[in-house]
């Protein structure tokens, strides 16, 4: 899948089949994420791949809008060392994960982390050291559904020269 097709067809998916995701696909996805751009090339990210069902259930229970994490066969927790641009850097890596998963035929969804009350508790659960912040949780798996949420048209969002 080429980059433009991936960008135009990727959607957030919240329903997953139980089929396991091969380890080599997860490694390809994280390899793409580690190559993401970062401010001053600091590369503050760390990725925790959670495949154990009980751990995914605990994470899901901590979230407010991520209960479906328990149903995905994989959840990637994106952490960043506290740095000036950690949220931008972690968000770039998160988008790379979403696009790589989609390009490999997998479904995924971005679940917020950084500003959430549960961020520190998820970090503790996953053994994150001090000074590392949760940026996102990304459940990944296979889905039978092809969501098609309404997206605003180009004409609604594009402004030339001034707002």
Residue 163 included in any domain: no
List the domain range (segments joined by +) for residue 142.
3-157
The confidence score (pLDDT) of residue 147 equals: 74
Residue 162 included in any domain: no
Residue 128 included in any domain: yes
Q: How far apart are CA 139 and CA 6, in angstroms?
A: 18
- Indicate the burial class of 140 (C-beta count within 10 angstroms; 0-12, 13-18, 19 or more): buried
H-type alpha helices, 13-153: 23-34, 53-62, 86-103, 119-125
Residue 51 included in any domain: yes
The confidence score (pLDDT) of residue 16 equals: 97
If one counts every other C-beta atom within 10 angstroms of the C-beta of residue 78, the result is 26
How many structural domains are present in the chain?
1
Q: How far apart are CA 116 and CA 119, in angstroms?
A: 5
Tens-place pLDDT, residues 54-80: 999 999 999 999 999 999 999 999 999
Confidence of residue 36 (pLDDT cuts 50, 70, 90): very high
Residue 144 included in any domain: yes
- Residue 1 tokens, joined: 């899948």
Confidence of residue 145 (pLDDT cuts 50, 70, 90): confident
Residue 141 included in any domain: yes
- Indicate the burial class of 155 (C-beta count within 10 angstroms; 0-12, 13-18, 19 or more): exposed
Q: How far apart are CA 58 and CA 53, in angstroms?
A: 9
- Residue pair 62/126 in contact (Cβ under 8 Å)? The answer is no
User: How large is the angle between the packed helices 23-34 and 86-103, nearest 10 degrees?
Assistant: 140
Q: Using the predicted structure, report yes or no on whether residue 150 has a pLDDT greater than 90.
A: no
DSSP string, 81-95: ES-TTHHHHHHHHHH
Domain holding 129: CATH number?
A: 3.40.109.10
Tens-place pLDDT, residues 78-119: 999 999 999 999 999 999 999 999 999 999 999 999 999 999
- For residue 139, the 8-state DSSP code is E
Residue 124 included in any domain: yes
With a CB cutoff of 8 Å and minimum separation 6, the contacts of 18 are 73
The mean predicted confidence, pLDDT, of the chain is 96
Residue 86 included in any domain: yes
């Amino acid at each position: 899948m080429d980059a433009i097709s991936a960008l135009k067809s990727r959607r957030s998916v919240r329903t997953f089949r139980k089929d396991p995701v091969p380890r080599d696909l997860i490694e390809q996805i994280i390899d793409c994420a580690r190559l993401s751009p970062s401010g001053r090339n600091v590369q503050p990210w760390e990725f925790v791949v959670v495949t154990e069902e009980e751990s995914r259930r605990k994470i899901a229970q901590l979230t407010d809008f991520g209960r479906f994490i328990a149903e995905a066969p994989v959840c990637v927790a994106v952490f960043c060392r506290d740095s000036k641009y950690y949220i931008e850097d972690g968000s770039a890596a998160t988008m790379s994960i979403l696009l790589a998963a989609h390009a490999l035929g997998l479904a995924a969804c971005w679940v917020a982390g950084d500003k959430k009350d549960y961020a520190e508790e998820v970090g503790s659960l996953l053994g994150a050291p001090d000074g590392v912040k949760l940026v996102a949780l990304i459940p990944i798996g296979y889905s039978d559904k092809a969501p098609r949420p309404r997206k605003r048209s180009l004409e609604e969002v594009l402004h030339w020269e001034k707002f």
